[in-house]
Copies of this chain bind each other. A is one copy, B any other.
């Protein structure tokens, strides 16, 4: 009896040891390491996505006239801050409190539940941070389109509604496992973030109208940006941030497979932007006999938005195609919007809305689990909701407090009228 027990115990020990040795042959990070890697991915990605707020600010500040530059700065730092508070108060649980297949999340202030964290494999706060900076990104997109004529406070009120409610509701439909999740795929947010920002901007532009003189006499009058170097800096910052935007959306880094996935996403993100730039460069040279820097910058952004719906699956040649079409969309859509007399100061609607749609619809090219019809459904449903909801908010703001600076204020610039100062008080303007 004792002998048998000894043999059994020893055999068991040897078996367990053997399986343990086997487990060491198949490399698996420890649970704790996986947790820390995942959390670190959220935090580092979140940091560079947060810095995209500076990128949008510099892009916009460089593309507006100097008399509106300080207002852009106020808007961009304020919208990020409002987004932070609204996502805490309402947004997060509207996204992630959705029942599976449901429509609305819960109205509950967010609090880090660290008990949950152990189950999800990352710190709850890291996830919240990463989601919050995404919401701010959508709001940043709106800022640029409406520049030079929208009043500060109505804009900030719109931002509060967008970041607290409109964005979170539609994001819950997909990322919160709501009713669109089963049929629709948007890896890092071509539709959920960029088109959402774009639709909100489009609604605002329609309600707000064009800047005075922009389409006077049936012609398009260019209002050149005051600092192309700052616009370029902003684009580089956005490009940098996009590695976190797309890479972080893998949501995990702690296994070999996840690390390989994040690395592939980095390469695809980079190549889509490269392709967007080169396409815009070549097309503007061919069309206008001169390279157009503003369109080249938007070409980078267009490429980046286009790959955002699926930055993991495409082969590089597919990525280059996707990004190049993004660059082409921007090149052709910027003058098209002007023909429609939709005044989009920085070209955000082509880059974020149109390229967002393109990027979402082309996902089936590389991801066979996704259907064109499913993607179209998501684009239409989310587009209809965000555009309608934004339109209603803009109209409500228009007919309550007014959203547009008066002619005098617009002429002297919002910096003087809204802020009582100048962005560059010493530099003489033409």
Residue numbers of A with Cβ under 8 A of B are: 2-3, 5-7, 9-14, 16-17, 20-21, 24, 27-33, 35-37, 39-40, 42-44, 46-48, 50-51, 53-54, 57-58, 61-62, 65-66, 69-70, 72-74, 76-78, 80-82, 84-85, 88, 110-112, 114, 117-118, 123-126, 128-129, 132, 152-153, 156, 224-233, 235-237, 239-240, 243, 247, 253-256, 258-260, 262-264, 266-267, 270-271, 273-275, 277-278, 281, 285, 288, 290-293, 296-297, 300, 315-316, 320, 418-430
Determine the distance from Cα of A277 to Cα of B330 in the docked complex, in whole angstroms.
Answer: 34
Determine the distance from Cα of A153 to Cα of B85 in the docked complex, in whole angstroms.
Answer: 44
Q: Is the CB of B418 within 8 A of A425?
A: no
- Known contacts A123-B260, A129-B267; 10 additional CB pairs below 8 A are A3-B3, A17-B17, A36-B255, A110-B316, A123-B259, A224-B425, A226-B427, A228-B421, A228-B424, A293-B419
Checking B5, B29, B152 against A7 with a beta-carbon cut-off of 8 angstroms, the contacting residue is B5
Q: Is the CB of A30 within 8 A of B31?
A: no
Q: A-B pairs with the 9 shortest C-beta distances?
A: A27-B31, A9-B10, A54-B236, A123-B263, A84-B274, A125-B263, A13-B13, A126-B263, A81-B277
Q: Is the CB of B46 within 8 A of A77?
A: no
List the B residue with the shortest CB-CB distance to A10: B9
Determine the distance from Cα of A237 to Cα of B48 in the docked complex, in whole angstroms.
Answer: 11
Determine the distance from Cα of A296 to Cα of B258 in the docked complex, in whole angstroms.
Answer: 40
A77 contacts across to B, CB distance below 8 A = 232, 235-236, 277, 296-297, 300
Checking B31, B57, B82, B320 against A232 with a beta-carbon cut-off of 8 angstroms, the contacting residue is B57
Determine the distance from Cα of A76 to Cα of B426 in the docked complex, in whole angstroms.
Answer: 23
Q: Is the CB of A426 within 8 A of B118?
A: no
Q: How far is the CB of A335 from chain B (nearest CB, A)?
A: 15
Residue among A27, A235, A236, A254 with the most chain B CB within 10 A?
A236
Checking B118, B228, B419 against A256 with a beta-carbon cut-off of 8 angstroms, the contacting residue is B118
Given A13-B13, A125-B263, A278-B85: A418 and B291 interface contact (C-beta under 8 Å): yes
Q: How far is the CB of A12 from chain B (nearest CB, A)?
A: 6
A117 contacts across to B, CB distance below 8 A = 256, 260
A253 contacts across to B, CB distance below 8 A = 36, 40
A255 contacts across to B, CB distance below 8 A = 32, 36
Checking B13, B65, B70, B293 against A73 with a beta-carbon cut-off of 8 angstroms, the contacting residue is B293
Q: How far is the CB of A44 from chain B (nearest CB, A)?
A: 7
Determine the distance from Cα of A48 to Cα of B419 in the docked complex, in whole angstroms.
Answer: 31
A3 contacts across to B, CB distance below 8 A = 2-3, 6
Checking B9, B33, B50, B78 against A30 with a beta-carbon cut-off of 8 angstroms, the contacting residue is B33
Q: Is the CB of B37 within 8 A of A27?
A: no
Determine the distance from Cα of A76 to Cα of B297 in the docked complex, in whole angstroms.
Answer: 11
Q: How far is the CB of A187 from chain B (nearest CB, A)?
A: 16
Determine the distance from Cα of A273 to Cα of B258 in the docked complex, in whole angstroms.
Answer: 33
Q: Is the CB of A84 within 8 A of B271?
A: yes
Determine the distance from Cα of A57 to Cα of B62 in the docked complex, in whole angstroms.
Answer: 15
Q: Is the CB of A28 within 8 A of B17?
A: no
Q: How far is the CB of A266 from chain B (nearest CB, A)?
A: 5
Q: Is the CB of B16 within 8 A of A17?
A: yes
Given A6-B7, A259-B40: A229 and B228 interface contact (C-beta under 8 Å): no
